[in-house]
Structure 1
Amino acid sequence: MTDSHFPLAAVVGADDLKLALCLVAVDPAIGGVLIEGPRGMAKSTLARGLAELLPDGQFVTLPLGASEDRIVGTLDLDAALGEGRARFSPGLLARADGGVLYVDEVNLLPDHLVDLLLDAAASGLNHVERDGISHSHRARFVLIGTMNGEEGELRPQLLDRFGLHLALDGQPEPARRMEIVRRRLAFDADPQAFAATWRDAQDELRQRCANARGRLAGIPLDEATLMRIAERCFAAAVDGLRADLVWLRAARAHAAWRGAGQIEEADIDAVADFVLRHRRRHAPPPSAQQPQPQDSAQARDDSADGQWGALPPQPQAMGERREPPRWSKKP
């Protein structure tokens, strides 16, 4: 990477997002990161900073109007028919291998393209078939998507497939806003000098990620941690088991990030909101709902005659029996 990019270590605030990006740099198997927030919150700057923490460091941006062929690549059918072999023209997925694939406004992409990106990110493989000819290549990248909720939502099925989800505060405090502007002006005036000022901090961040990657495999995924995560996923009423897997991997990456040798409660808590933000349901699971008390006599009446909408009988005061009014005859 060149020094013309704004270093992640110099980003003001956004501590949770910087932590989440470092965790996926430690273990890309956590899955992609979805960043939600208004325009002008340096989402692309943060995503580009992640690429500098990865061994290869490619940063590929997917244009909003990109076609499927441009994303996955194409096969030269004329060469295949004339030479008897498939000639593959790589797409954006091949270019992003080993780095970051950045998708701005991912919620505005057609659903089938989002599905395609998530499938490739999860499998690390891109498979292309055209007219009976197929080609596969490695596509191991970290998918970073951004969205502004005011411009449309992602379907829950697609949301769930992003490993982590974070929201940026669109209203930073005045002192923080001032520092953000100062650093931006300094970077714009002389990018190389600004990068040199932050080089030590950036190198330290990059080295910490590298050390954590080397430590990751030695941290056990123990039964006690799995039990605590499973219980908390159940309490949050999340659908499916992806949350459990992501949470376990993220907690292990956080332990490696801390320099620890095992997962502790602090690691589980540190990544809880990243994992649950887009998966948590407000209603408890059906098994946790308690039946409402019902009058036993009324319940017997309802079950006996099916009067599901009948009102219970109301007691009436006993008094002197009155004759119904008599209407006078018309003369």
Structure 2
Amino acid sequence: MNGSLPAFPFTALIDQQPLQQALLIAAVDPGIGGVLVSGPRGTAKSTAARALAELLPEGQFVTLPLGASEERLIGTLDLDAVLRDGAVKFSPGLLAQAHRGVLYVDEINLLPDTLVDALLDAAASGVNTVERDGVSHSHDARFVLVGTMNPEEGELRPQLLDRFGLVVELENCFDPAVRQRIVKARLAFDLDPRGFHRAYATQQSDVVQRIRAARAALSALSFDDAVHALVSRLCIEAAVDGLRADLVMLRAARALAALDGADAVTVAHVERVAASVLLHRRHADDASAEAGTSEREPQEAATASADQKTENGQHNRSQAKSDGSAGDWGYLPPQPAGIANVKTVVPLAAKKR
């Protein structure tokens, strides 16, 4: 738990099922690559991330500020100590502090690409390596990466976006009843955080047990041919680049099956995670463009015919007679403009010269 007061309970979040599912999947298998949450301000992005941290073993919640340096993130090596004592002296950074917890990055789309690269590398591998002048040091860095962004403030480069395991898009709520439930819950929490948290203690404990059991069962779950076939079909239909989407979808489906206490990964598990895996990787327009070549031919012919008609119409208008008998119907021939003679006045001084 971060600070003296508890965070808003994860199980008390309202109308956030897709986000809760994605965060729990990443908690079970952090190697998926983290969760990117996109949405407008005030949609509980940071609240959900803090709530997840309370469910993890050490409850670490580490925030990466936008102005952080690379050394602040990955840590530093004291090279003088290496030369003097022959031993590596490592000062841990935020990646080390976030081990077994949540590393939260608000407005990740505004971070320098070098920091985003380092974040995603550590999130996927579970290891952070610091290298300076031929000296290196590695340490465990298994954390759940949660990045948030507001699309109005810019996008991540596609190369970085693809490396996020799951993406969830949040929207403003326009259901009056749901808005009232959310506001009432938040007001009740602000009034008595500890009392509100105690009211959800049983539900919170159940989720903690689910995460622990799911992590333990993860390696025992297998995929059958039907699961592999569905994953391949969905990724091909989405025209994704490479095979990262296939791997993430299988791992996410396995983590979800583990959370459900299932004996094996099923097609239903794949269907439940497909949207968050493909949302930021989909190139459906490219796929439909290749598949629909024959369908475009009549359209292209019709477009060419329309262009030809336009050219013919322009030609006819250019050949219109002065009496308007030729050319398009309703076309008016050009009318002569009035011309008036202008008398030039020479100044008297110019005449004398």
2:63 is paired with a residue whose SS is strand
Name the structure 2 match of 1:43.
45
By how many angstroms is 1:289 displaced?
4.6
Aligned twin of 1:77: 79
Identity of aligned residues (%): 58
Kindly state the Cα deviation for residue 213 of structure 1 after the two structures are TM-superposed. Answer: 2.2
Alignment of 1:145-224 (within 5 A): 145-224=147-226
Partner of 1:138: 140
Q: Please give the alpha-carbon distance, in whole angstroms, between the structure 2 residues aligned to 1:188 and 1:99.
A: 24
Moved more, 281-290 or 167-176: 281-290
For residues 265-284 of structure 1, what are the structure 2 equivalents within 5 Å? 265-284=267-286
Is structure 2 residue 102 aligned with structure 1 residue 100? yes
Structure 2 letter corresponding to 1:162: F
Q: Is the 2:31–2:125 Cα contact (8 Å) retained in structure 1? A: no
- Residues 1:17 and 2:19 are matched in the alignment: yes
2:291 corresponds to: 288
For residues 266 and 56 of structure 1, the distance between their equivalents in structure 2, rounded to whole angstroms, comes to 32
Q: Secondary structure at the match of 2:284?
A: coil
User: What CA distance in whole angstroms lies between the structure 1 residues aligned with 2:34 and 2:154?
Assistant: 19
TM superposition score normalised by structure 2: 0.79
| Counterpart code for 2:271 | D
Kept in 2, the 8 Å contact 1:22–1:53? The answer is: no
- Name stretches of at least 5 consecutive residues in structure 2 with no aligned partner: 299-307, 313-353
Which protein, 1 or 2, shows the higher relative CO under an 8 Å CA cutoff with sep ≥ 6? Answer: 1
| Cα deviation, residue 287, structure 1 | 5.7
Name the aligned partner's letter for residue 288 of structure 1.
A
Identify the residue that residue 305 of structure 1 maps to in structure 2: none
What is the alpha-carbon distance in structure 1 between the residues aligned to residue 89 and residue 212 of structure 2?
36
| Contact preservation (8 Å) 1:225, 1:263 | yes
Cα distance in 2, alignment partners of residues 172 and 240 from structure 1? 38
Aligned with residue 29 of structure 1, among 28, 31, 52: 31
Q: Secondary structure of the residue that 1:225 maps to in structure 2? A: helix
The amino acid across from 1:54 in the alignment is L
How far off its partner does 1:223 sit?
A: 2.6
- Report the equivalent of 1:306: none
**Structure-2 separation of matches of 1:83 and 1:154:** 43
Q: Contact 1:35 / 1:166 at 8 angstroms: preserved in 2?
A: yes
**Quick one: which amino acid aligns to residue 114 of structure 1?**
V
Structure 1, 242-251 or 252-261: larger mean CA deviation: 252-261
Q: Distance in 2 between matches of 1:132 and 1:238?
A: 38
1:82 alignment partner AA: R
User: Does the 8 A contact of 2:223 with 2:266 survive in 1?
Assistant: no
**What whole-Å deviation, never above 9, does each CA across 1:256-305 have from its counterpart, x for those lacking one?**
222211222211111111111001113243763535659xxxxxxxxxxx
Equivalent residues of 2:218, 2:255 under 8 A apart: yes
SS state at 1:134 partner: strand
Shift of 1:32: 0.5
Identify the structure with the greater helix proportion. Answer: 2
Cα distance between partner residues in 1 of 2:90 and 2:227? 45
- In structure 2, what is the equivalent of residue 259 of structure 1? 261
Q: Which residue of 1 aligns with 2:89?
A: 87
After superposition, the CA RMSD in angstroms is 2.1
Contact 2:129 2:137 in 1 (8 A): yes
Unaligned runs of 5+ in 1: 295-310, 315-331
Deviation at 1:55, TM superposition (A): 2.5
Query: For 1:158 and 1:218, how far apart are their aligned partners in 2?
Result: 31
Deviation at 1:228, TM superposition (A): 1.3
Superposition TM-score, scaled by structure 1 size? 0.85
Q: Is the 8 A contact 1:235 1:284 kept in 2?
A: no
Cα displacement (A) at 1:155: 0.7
CA deviation vs aligned residue, 1:26-56 (integer Å, no higher than 9, x gap): 2222221000011111111101122223223
Letter in 2 for 1:173: D
Opposite residue 193 of structure 2, the aligned amino acid is P
Tell me the number of residue pairs that the alignment of Structure 1 and Structure 2 aligns. 298
